[in-house]
Chains A and B, each alone.
Chain A
Amino acid sequence: MSERTVELEVLRYNPETDGEPHFQRYSVTCREEWVVLDALNHIKETVDPTLSYRWSCHMAVCGSCGMMIDGEPKLACKTFLRDYPGVIRVEPLAHFPVERDLVTVIDDFIAKLTRVKPYLIPKEEKPVAAGEYRQTPAQLKRYKQFTLCINCMLCYAACPEYGIIPKFLGPAAISLAHRWNQDSRDGGRAQRQEEIAATEGVWECSFTGACSEVCPEHVDPAAALQQVKIKSTVDWYLAHTMPWLNK
């Protein structure tokens, strides 16, 4: 089996001991099929136990190991060393405060996610004993892709607006709000609208599409944002040109 020596340049920052973040260079012998996370684990086990980062599933579903790899937001468990011929630069996700080394603070996202009411607000109440809400495969398909968000924060790290305007709800929170709005069982759009149609909601998005490009689950947050914008615009016109429709 083939091995090669890989150079990793990892951003280190410990708020207790470091005035400024700095890069540390590690040289590790890696197997051909390794991902960046394997290399970090190898460093932690054999070279430097002080290196801190989050990880768990190693299968791109828990969303823990988002980091900047050569300047791009990536999941370390799904980024293969073989795709990087030179020195690999590993940094914490952009646009988030650094807690320590590659660990970022994601309180902002959790607060925003909570604000958009990401749960079913039933269109019609129905007791559980009455059985399931019917939902055809076609109805499922309308929102299914937006359920695939693993909250890995890569889209926030890629989003130029979020970098400039931290209040912006951001791609994942808006996609998840849209996920519920599009669900045939849900009737909560009006309640969510207050948050997502606000200035810091969808309107900050300048549609660069960077969020959709970096999404490891092929969710298309940019599409969600545009659909929300269109629907919000329609709402505005209806409210202003046909006010009698408002109840």
Chain B
Amino acid sequence: METITSDIAIIGAGGAGLRAAIALAQADPRLRIALISKVYPMRSHTCAAEGGAAGVIKGDDSLEQHFNDTVGGGDWLCDQDAVDYLVQEAPKELLQLEHWGCPWSRELDGSVAVRPFGGMKIQRTWFAADKTGFHLLHTLFQTSLQFSSIERYDEYYATDLLVDEGRCCGLTAIEMRSGQMRQFRARAVIIAGGGAGRMFPFTTNGAIKTGDGMALAYRAGVPLKDMEFVQYHPTGLPSTGTLLTEACRGEGGVLLNKHGRRFLQDYGMGPETPIGKPVLKTMELGPRDRLSQAFWHEQKKGNMVTTQWGDAMLLDMRHLGEQKINERLPLVRDMSISYMGVDPVRDPVPVRPVVHYMMGGIHTDIRAATPLAGLYAAGECACVSINGANRLGSNSLTELLVFGRRAALSAMEYLASDPGRGNSQAIDAQAEAARARVRALFQKSGGESIAGLRKEMMHTLEQHAGIYRSGEGLSEACATLAALRRRYANIELHDKTNVYNTDLLQALELGSMLDCAEAVAVSALERRESRGAHQRLDFTERDDARYLKHSLASFQGAAAPRVDYSDVVITKSQPGVRDYSGGHA
């Protein structure tokens, strides 16, 4: 097997992976960096983030307020030391992006502009029209091209971590172009593999968001933390799930039921604010979990409009006018017209909640280090945790920059301790075993279909692990997912060739998703309370006495994961009431 040796290997070349790679290359040009991704960097899903990135920059704002919004928004499940680090580093990272040429939208005087965002009390969301993630990704990618020490391995699918003597020593990956397995030896590994929204049938996430990075760490013994917290973004197009950014509401768009009522006022987010004059942290600028839950209740009451794709609410932006929509929300207009046949300048756009983001992920500490020596994680695949039970919009782009860089710095500190490269023969044997496991897929003839199992998994999660959950439903989901994992052993490939074999790729991705899905369902079943994005119909209240804790799901092979709990780091903000009424302080 061909072996590629570097100092640090990074899995994933989206925002977090690229930020880490650049930080390493700048800090020490002698470091050999292998940047490995199953897609070309500019295809990474960071490109689909629209609204912006939060960071305190204006005179009316403070780090303390960003901290408070984030911790309250996360229903006090955030680790407060991590949030402190995030809000401190945020402005520096966003300015660094500015210095690398990111085309941030501007004020007339040339300073960076900010916009309002859900759950944020002060305007602090930097934006590049409504393609912020796209610009951030391309700025990072193009900037990375100046560093020859970053060796890219585009379209390599990572299959296994290599671990010896309790240290992560590399990984194996399939070169898609040849279908051959390669061994990457490294003294430290950073996972930046993104989220897992594709476990659900209706998601804003691109096809590549299959939880591969999470599954890699999980199978290597690193717990997945807080996996029960799955964010529904309230405003997706019902036809395709395409995201219409929160900035629609930040700019003044309002949500209506079929009677034309701004129904959020009936769910603790009133009183109604004047049309075209959005008030921060209330009504349409409430947090995503609350808005999605309000939709669920209105739907139960029969107050939603009916479309051929199911029930929807209406996002009305007409009062913003054509000029503002074109300037601030050009992508939103384009998508609405293309995929729904509705021009937001002329008509309200039907929207409904859609799976968007995994708050949970690979368990890391505030240094982006996992419990496995030599392994680090950052971005959506990681849970550090700054998002707690509900992420505020525009914190995730900031997170991937801040903790992408942090992972790089921590990995370098680790290298300075001279960890060695492990026992070469033992690692070779692991790599061979990984290759054998993949080759064995080609021999199977069990008859289970990849698309079929995937569909059942998606259906199970949508039905039982959605906006509202129950013990009964989650028990059923756990049983179904356990059965699907057993049946996965009998999947059959139809494509037995090597070059760019997407049948094989989808089989491996399905394996990742099934493992992550089981962690979601089991963690959700065990959390007998309602907090943030995890709402139980049978345990409707937040229960700080028992569950002001992070869940940690540990992989147990063919059996269901074991769930343990760890304390939440609370430094200065005691759990309180999340108040998004217009009367809040």
Cβ of B42 and Cβ of A150 under 8 Å apart?
yes
Closest chain B residue to A55 by CB distance? B207
Q: Mark B499-520 against chain A: 1 for CB-CB distance below 8 A, else 0.
A: 1111100100000000000000
Instruction: Say how far B36's CB is from chain A's closest CB, in angstroms.
Output: 15
* Stretch with Cβ within 8 A of B (4 or more), from A11-19, A154-162, A199-207: A11-19
Alpha-carbon separation in the docked complex, A13 to B143 (Å): 35
Across chains A and B, the number of contacting residue pairs, with CB separation under 8 Å, is 152
Contacts of A95 in B (CB 8 A): none
Question: Are B48's CB and A128's CB within 8 A?
Answer: no
Residue A24 lies at the interface, judged by CB distance under 8 Å to chain B: no
**A125: nearest chain-B partner, CB-CB:** B99
In the assembled complex, A136 has its CB within 8 A of some CB on chain B: yes
A67 to B206, CA, bound (A): 18
CB contact between B48 and one of A17, A62, A101 (< 8 Å): that residue: A62
A contact face: mostly helix, strand, loop, or mixed: loop
> In residues 57-107 of chain A, which contact B (Cβ within 8 Å)?
57-64, 78, 99-101, 103, 105-106
Question: Is B110 touching A135 in the complex (CB atoms < 8 A)?
Answer: yes
How extensive is the interface on chain A, given as a class? 35 or more
Q: Which of B47, B108, B154 contacts A57 (CB 8 A)?
A: B47
Chain B, Cβ-Cβ closest to A184: B110
Beyond A63-B43, A106-B40, whether A136 also contacts B109 by CB under 8 A is yes
A58-B242, A113-B145, A120-B143 known; A134 vs B109 contact (CB < 8 Å)? yes
Q: What residues of A have a CB within 8 angstroms of the CB of B47 in the complex?
A: 57, 61-62, 150
- With contacts A56-B206, A61-B131, A140-B105 taken as known, whether A14 is within 8 angstroms of B145 at the C-beta atoms is no
0/1 per residue, B111-146, Cβ < 8 Å to A?
110000000000000000001001100100011011
Among A56, A100, A103, A183, point to the contact of B45 (Cβ < 8 A).
A56
> Chain A contacts of B106 at CB under 8 A?
135-137, 140
* CB 8 Å contact bits of A172-183 with B (1 = contact, 0 = none): 000010001001
Q: Are A133 and B99 in contact (CB under 8 A)?
A: yes
The answer to whether B42 touches A132 (Cβ under 8 A) is: no
Given contacts A114-B145, A120-B99, A134-B111, contact A50 B494 (CB under 8 A): yes
Whether A57 lies near B48 (C-beta < 8 A) is yes
CB contact between B103 and one of A16, A51, A113, A144 (< 8 Å): that residue:
A144
Does residue A139 face the partner (Cβ distance < 8 Å to B)? yes
Q: Which of B236-275 contact A (CB under 8 A)?
A: 239-240, 242-243
Inter-subunit contact A128/B497 (CB<8 Å): no
Contact of B101 among A16, A50, A185 (CB under 8 A): A185
Answer whether A33 and B101 are a contact pair too, CB < 8 Å, given A61-B134, A128-B96, A132-B95.
no
Given contacts A56-B207, A57-B48, are A134 and B110 in contact (CB under 8 A)? Answer: yes
- Of B96, B145, B497, which contacts A17 at CB under 8 A? B497
B146 touching A117, Cβ below 8 Å: yes
Q: Could you tell me the distance in whole angstroms from the C-beta of B441 to the nearest C-beta in chain A?
A: 13
Instruction: Known contacts A122-B99, A136-B108, A137-B106; decide if A78 and B338 are in contact (CB<8 Å).
Output: yes
Does any Cβ of A come within 8 Å of B498's Cβ?
yes
Bound: A110/B35 CA distance, A: 15
Count residues of B near A (Cβ-Cβ below 8 Å). Answer: 62
Question: A176, B92: Cβ atoms under 8 Å?
Answer: no
Q: Is B571 an interface residue (CB 8 A)?
A: no
Contacts of A105 in B (CB 8 A): 177
Determine if A126 is an interface residue (Cβ-Cβ < 8 Å): yes
Given A59-B242, A120-B100, A131-B95, residue A52 in contact with residue B500 (CB < 8 A): yes
CB-based contact B451/A99 at 8 Å: no
CA gap between A132 and B451 in the complex, in Å: 49
Inter-chain contact B239/A58, CB cutoff 8 Å:
no
Docked-complex contact A119 and B100, CB < 8 angstroms: yes
* Known pairs A57-B45, A100-B500, A113-B145; A62 contacts B206 (CB<8 A): yes
| B31 interface residue per 8 A CB criterion | no
Tell me which residues across on chain A come within 8 A of B135, comparing CB atoms.
147
Q: How far is it, in angstroms, between the C-alpha of A232 and the C-alpha of B286 when the chains are bound?
A: 53
- For A148, the closest partner residue in chain B by CB is B131
Residues of chain A lying within 8 A (CB to CB) of residue B499:
14-16, 99-100
User: Shortest CB–CB separation between residue B65 and chain A, in angstroms?
Assistant: 20
Asked whether B208 is an interface residue with its Cβ less than 8 Å from the other chain, the reply is: yes
- Minimum CB–CB distance for B211 against chain A, Å: 15
A231 to chain B, nearest CB (A): 19
Q: Which residues of A contact B495 (CB under 8 A)?
A: 49-50
Which residues of chain B are near A164, meaning CB under 8 Å? none
CB distance from A78 to the nearest CB of B (A): 6
8 closest Cβ contacts across the A-B interface? A134-B110, A56-B206, A120-B101, A45-B451, A100-B500, A118-B142, A50-B495, A49-B494
New A-B contacts (6) at CB < 8 Å, excluding given A60-B338, A132-B99, A137-B107: A50-B503, A63-B42, A103-B500, A120-B101, A150-B47, A176-B142
27 interchain pairs, CB-CB under 8 A? A1-B308, A46-B451, A52-B500, A57-B48, A57-B206, A60-B338, A61-B48, A61-B131, A62-B44, A62-B47, A110-B154, A113-B145, A117-B146, A120-B99, A120-B143, A122-B99, A128-B95, A128-B96, A136-B110, A137-B106, A140-B103, A140-B106, A143-B103, A147-B103, A147-B135, A151-B40, A151-B42
Q: Measuring CB to CB, which residues of chain A are less than 8 angstroms from any residue of chain B?
A: 1, 14-17, 33, 44-46, 48-64, 78, 99-101, 103, 105-106, 110, 113-114, 117-120, 122, 126, 128-129, 131-137, 139-140, 143-144, 147-148, 150-151, 176, 180, 183, 185-186
